[in-house]
């Protein structure tokens, strides 16, 4: 078991790195696409709808293959490193789902608060960032946490584009030692721990956000 652990930890570090950067990209894309889909400008709205439907309606594996195998070919001639492919693929895929979660959360903010801001002559930009978006984050946090946990599990697919993540290392060790039960049991525990870390950070952020919201309402 002591021999297996260091190699699996190498895979865990790669998994964490991919999950962190792709989560940041997913959150950014979710905010942009959710706000864009609610835009009154037709071009912006339909561009965001196209992005959301494309990445929700196609397989993540196919998206990764497109980025890794198709883009380097003519007429695109764009070659990306495996790490960049993993981050972009996972980030755009989860971001499309997150956009719909956040859009629903924005629409759930009570209309009375928006009308109160208008009555107090609060500008639309300040109204959005100080009143609507913080409350939307609070509403979207539970389903958003589920998406981030899904993202952690989706990192197991990046071995298809030659990255040595946790799943890749587990398969590699299994082929070398044939200790399938120990290796995949340990890998399962490691994925579970990563998911619980996401849960803990989400609850912490929810408490901080709730306190901020209560402070504004007072």
Q: Quick one: pLDDT at residue 135?
A: 85
pTM, full prediction: 0.89
Contact 178, 184 (CB under 8 A): no
CA 102 to centroid of chain Cα atoms: 12
Q: Which domains does the chain have, with CATH numbers?
A: 4-217 (1.10.3720.10)
Select from 77, 80, 44, 39 the least CA-distant residue to 63: 80
Q: Quick one: pLDDT at residue 144?
A: 93
Which distant-in-sequence residues (6+ apart) come within 8 Å of 80 by Cβ? 67, 68, 71, 72, 88
Q: Quick one: pLDDT at residue 111?
A: 80
Contact 85, 67 (CB under 8 A): yes
Contact 5, 138 (CB under 8 A): no
Q: Quick one: pLDDT at residue 217?
A: 39
Tell me the pLDDT tens digit for each residue of 138-170.
Answer: 889 999 999 999 999 999 999 888 888 888 888
Question: How far is Cα 215 from Cα 128, in angstroms, rounded to an integer?
Answer: 17
Select from 19, 21, 24 the least CA-distant residue to 194: 19
Task: For residue 70, count CB atoms less than 10 angstroms from its CB and return exposed for 0-12, middle for 13-18, buried for 19 or more.
Answer: exposed
Enumerate residue ranges in the chain where pLDDT < 50: 214-218
Q: Quick one: pLDDT at residue 212?
A: 62
């Amino acid at each position: 078991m002591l021999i297996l652990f260091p190699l699996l930890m190498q895979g865990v570090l790669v998994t964490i790195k991919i999950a962190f950067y792709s989560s940041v990209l997913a959150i950014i894309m979710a905010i942009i696409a959710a706000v864009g889909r609610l835009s009154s400008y037709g071009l912006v709205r339909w561009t965001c709808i196209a992005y959301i439907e494309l990445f929700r309606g196609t397989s993540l594996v196919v998206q990764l293959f497109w980025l890794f195998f198709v883009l380097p070919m003519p007429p695109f001639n764009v070659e990306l490193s495996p790490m960049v492919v993993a981050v972009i693929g996972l980030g755009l895929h989860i971001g499309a789902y997150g956009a719909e979660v956040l859009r629903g959360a924005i629409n759930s903010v009570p209309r009375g608060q928006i009308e109160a801001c208008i009555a107090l002559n609060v500008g639309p930009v300040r109204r959005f960032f100080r009143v609507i978006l913080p409350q939307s984050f609070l509403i979207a946090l539970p389903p958003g946490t589920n998406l981030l946990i899904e993202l952690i599990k989706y990192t197991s697919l990046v071995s298809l584009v030659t990255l040595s993540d946790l799943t890749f290392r587990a398969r590699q060790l299994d082929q070398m030692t044939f200790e399938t039960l120990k290796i995949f049991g340990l890998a399962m525990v490691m994925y579970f721990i990563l998911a619980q870390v996401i849960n803990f950070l989400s609850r912490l952020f929810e408490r901080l956000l709730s306190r901020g919201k209560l402070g504004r309402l007072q």
